[in-house]
Amino acid sequence: MYCPSCHDEFIDSITICSDCNITLVENIALNEPLENINWVKVKELPGKVFGEMMGEVLNSAEIPYFLKSDWSASAYNVAPTGLVGSYVQVYVPENFHDKANKLLTDLMD
Ligand SMILES: [Zn+2]
């Protein structure tokens, strides 16, 4: 597993980069070296559950992606209900943006 942000390599059981707080990607799903990929934001979602849902859709469409959250920022403002105010941003490689955007927009409607 690789971090799309800092490019560190992790063992398979690790799913989140401890430095960047984002989900790791499997390099095997990518056709070009990770550092050549231009990641773009597709959607910003109102919570982790939405992010995981989107992730499953992108997975089944074989689109590489990672999720970036604001958990660390929200830790300073923890609401009684937990994750209120938190969001998840979905990133995909630039060349997958249109396809991913259509899939996720359909899902939200
Ligand atoms: Zn990282």
In a domain, 87, yes or no: yes
Q: How many CB atoms within 10 Å of residue 16?
A: 17
Count how many domains the chain has. Answer: 1
In a domain, 12, yes or no: no
In a domain, 95, yes or no: yes
- Centre of ligand 1 to C-alpha 17, Å, is 5
In a domain, 1, yes or no: no
pLDDT of residue 45: 82
CB contact burial 70-99 (16+ within 10 A = b; e otherwise): eeeebeeeeeeeebeebbbbbbbbeebbee
- Centre of ligand 1 to C-alpha 5, Å, is 5
In a domain, 43, yes or no: yes
In a domain, 26, yes or no: no
In a domain, 50, yes or no: yes
- Centre of ligand 1 to C-alpha 18, Å, is 7
pLDDT of residue 70: 63
- Centre of ligand 1 to C-alpha 10, Å, is 10
Over the chain (109 residues), the average pLDDT of each successive run of 10 is 87 89 74 76 82 87 83 46 64 93 86
- Centre of ligand 1 to C-alpha 23, Å, is 9
CATH number of 54's domain: 3.30.70.790
Q: Which domain holds residue 91?
A: 38-108
Alpha carbons 72 and 31: distance in angstroms, whole number: 32
